[in-house]
Amino acid sequence: MKKLLSVLLVILSLNMAACADNTSEQINSDIKQDISTSTENIVVSLSSVEESSGEIVNYDAGKNNYTKYTEYTALQASPRDLVKGNNDKVLVAYFSRSGNTAITDDIDAISSASLLIRENGDTVGTCESIAEWIAEETGGDLFLIQTEYTYPVDYDQLVEVGEGQDIDGYHPSLCSHLENIEQYDTVYLVYPIWHYTVSVPTCSFLDEYDLSGKTIYAFAANEGSRFADSIERIAEAEPEATVLEGISVNQRQLYDTESTVRNFVKEHMK
Ligand SMILES: Cc1cc2nc3c(=O)[nH]c(=O)nc-3n(C[C@H](O)[C@H](O)[C@H](O)COP(=O)(O)O)c2cc1C
């Protein structure tokens, strides 16, 4: 951070020196205007970086290029620990916007179209809620699929990146990894539908693990596309697994669906 500040100060002073040499008053005032605008931008971007804990991504970093679809600050994510349950045969793996964006404490509902606010003020994604209900019912381990770099907090920008990556067939690298996939015989996979199919980070999860011989229950959060083609896509990625429909949950009816999700899981645990 100190290095960044010094570089910015040097750039600022070079620009100011350039102004001093300029004889035209009009040009001078234009340049001053530019400098004051860019100074404001610098202050804004520094404060937003300080609110988050990660490193700024090199935007030209090739495979990690999330920002080619929209302009935002992608941060290196810190992986969350697996939440251990008391049933070591069941894994509840989920991808959610929540946990994959650099959300700060003061996020508001404006930029959080698919995030819900809990009574205690915490934000929670649709898939996160569903995964927590399933973990409560099964006692399974709860695992957040986390990408190496954060997605935009702003919903419209998130859509641009998520859809862009799907069109490009880009499966982002993950920063969270399971040590022992062999121990599980049942996997509840909870994911949002992105661009009428499985969200690309969920595809990265399916690329990484061989789920042969396991039963996968698919739970798709969506805004109307239901499962789209996700069951077929999961079965293609895991041809030796048994892939079954769980519940598709429209995010607008999330809480109305809670008992349906819990009952489905209870029924299939018998
Ligand atoms: C990149 C992106 C693309 C989406 N595409 C679709 C879609 O094709 N069909 C649909 O029904 N919902 C779509 N949605 C809505 C999400 O599936 C929905 O908001 C989901 O509840 C998000 O779950 P989360 O809050 O756990 O991330 C999309 C959302 C995003 C961010």
If asked whether residues 25 and 117 sit together in one domain, one would say no
Would the pLDDT of 258 be above 60? Answer: yes
The total domain count for the chain is 2
- Please give the pLDDT value at position 239: 98
If asked whether residues 36 and 136 sit together in one domain, one would say no
Domain, as residue range, for 47: 2-51
Q: What is the mean pLDDT of the chain?
A: 78
206 CA to centre of ligand 1 in angstroms: 19
In a domain, 158, yes or no: yes
Regarding the beta carbon of 96 and ligand 1, being less than 6 Å apart is answered: yes
3-state secondary structure of 160: helix
If asked whether residues 37 and 149 sit together in one domain, one would say no
Give the confidence band of 187 by pLDDT, cuts at 50, 70, 90: very high
195 CA to centre of ligand 1 in angstroms: 8
Q: Which of 223, 229, 233, 248 to mutate to test the pocket of ligand 1 (most atoms within 8 A of CB)?
A: 223
If asked whether residues 39 and 87 sit together in one domain, one would say no
50 CA to centre of ligand 1 in angstroms: 29
Residue nearest to ligand 1 atom 1, measured at CA: 159
Q: Residue 70's closest CA among 151, 146, 125? A: 151
Ligand 1 atom closest to the Cα of residue 130 is: 26
User: Residue 216 is part of a domain; what is its CATH number?
Assistant: 3.40.50.360
Q: Residue 254's closest CA among 219, 228, 212? A: 219
If asked whether residues 18 and 105 sit together in one domain, one would say no
CA 211 to chain centre: 23
- Please give the pLDDT value at position 61: 46
If asked whether residues 176 and 257 sit together in one domain, one would say yes
If asked whether residues 23 and 47 sit together in one domain, one would say yes
Give the β-pairing of 115-117 and 123-125. Answer: antiparallel
If asked whether residues 233 and 258 sit together in one domain, one would say yes
- In angstroms, rounded to a whole number, what is the distance separating the alpha carbons of residues 104 and 47? 12
- Identify the residue with better confidence: 101 or 103: 101
In a domain, 57, yes or no: no
135 CA to centre of ligand 1 in angstroms: 22
In a domain, 56, yes or no: no
In a domain, 169, yes or no: yes
If asked whether residues 25 and 70 sit together in one domain, one would say no
If asked whether residues 183 and 77 sit together in one domain, one would say yes
